[in-house]
Amino acid sequence: MGLTYKDSGVDIHAGYESVKQLTVEVKKTFDKQVLDNFGSFGALFQPDLTGIKTPILVSSTDGVGTKLLLAIELGIFDTIGVDLVAMCVNDLITQGAKPLFMLDYIALHKLEPTLVTTIIKGIVEGCQQSACALIGGETAEMRDVYRQGDFDLAGFVVGLVDKDQVITGRGISVGDKIIRLSSSGVHSNGYSLARKVADMIDDPTERLAFKKDLLTPTVIYVKQVLDFIARFPIKGIANITGGGLYENIARVLPKHVDARVDFGSWDLLPVFKTLQRVGQISWREMCSAFNVGVGMTLVVAPETAIALCAAEPTLDIIGEIISGTGVVIVEGLPQP
CATH number of 267's domain? 3.90.650.10
Distance CA 186, CA 216 (A): 8
Q: Is the same domain home to 122 and 246?
A: no
Q: Report the domain count for the chain.
A: 2
Which residue range forms the structural domain that includes residue 61? Answer: 6-165
Q: Is the same domain home to 70 and 186?
A: no
pLDDT value of position 92: 97
Q: Is the same domain home to 151 and 111?
A: yes
Q: Is the same domain home to 196 and 67?
A: no
72 phi/psi in degrees, rounded to 5? -65, -45
Which amino acid is it at 177? K
Which amino acid is it at 19? V
Q: Is the same domain home to 305 and 325?
A: yes
User: For residue range 76-85, what is the model confidence (pLDDT) as tens digits?
Assistant: 999 999 999 9
pLDDT value of position 42: 87
Helices (H), strands (E): how many in the chain? 11, 12
User: What average pLDDT does this structure show over 126-142?
Assistant: 95
Considering 120, 145, 165, which residue would you say is the last residue of a domain? 165
- pLDDT band at residue 58 under the 50/70/90 scheme: very high
Q: Is the same domain home to 134 and 260?
A: no
Q: Is the same domain home to 115 and 65?
A: yes
Q: Is the same domain home to 99 and 184?
A: no
133 DSSP β-pair partners = 101
User: For residue range 94-116, what is the model confidence (pLDDT) as tens digits?
Assistant: 999 999 999 999 999 999 989 99
Residue, of 335 and 167, whose pLDDT is higher: 167
Considering 107, 133, 165, which residue would you say is the last residue of a domain? 165
- 11 occurs within a structural domain: yes
- 1 occurs within a structural domain: no
Q: Is the same domain home to 89 and 140?
A: yes
User: For residue range 24-57, what is the model confidence (pLDDT) as tens digits?
Assistant: 888 888 999 999 766 678 889 999 999 999 999 9
Per-residue pLDDT for 215 more than 70?
yes
- 148 occurs within a structural domain: yes
- 214 occurs within a structural domain: yes
SS3 73: helix
Considering 137, 165, 193, which residue would you say is the last residue of a domain? 165
Contact 226, 98 (CB under 8 A): yes
- 239 occurs within a structural domain: yes
Q: Is the same domain home to 75 and 210?
A: no
- 184 occurs within a structural domain: yes
Average pLDDT, the chain: 94
pLDDT value of position 19: 62
User: For residue range 225-278, what is the model confidence (pLDDT) as tens digits?
Assistant: 999 999 999 999 999 999 999 999 999 999 999 999 999 999 999 999 999 999
pLDDT value of position 327: 98
- 279 occurs within a structural domain: yes
User: What average pLDDT does this structure show over 133-153?
Assistant: 94
- Write the Ramachandran bin of 180: left for phi over 0, alpha for psi from -120 to 50, otherwise beta: beta
CATH number of 156's domain? 3.30.1330.10
pLDDT value of position 248: 98
Q: Is the same domain home to 35 and 148?
A: yes
Q: Is the same domain home to 181 and 273?
A: yes
- 336 occurs within a structural domain: no
Sequence-distant contacts of 51-56: CB under 8 A, at least 24 apart: 51/162, 52/160, 52/162, 53/162, 53/163, 53/164, 54/162, 54/163, 54/164, 55/160, 55/161, 55/162, 55/163, 56/97, 56/160, 56/161, 56/162, 56/163, 56/166
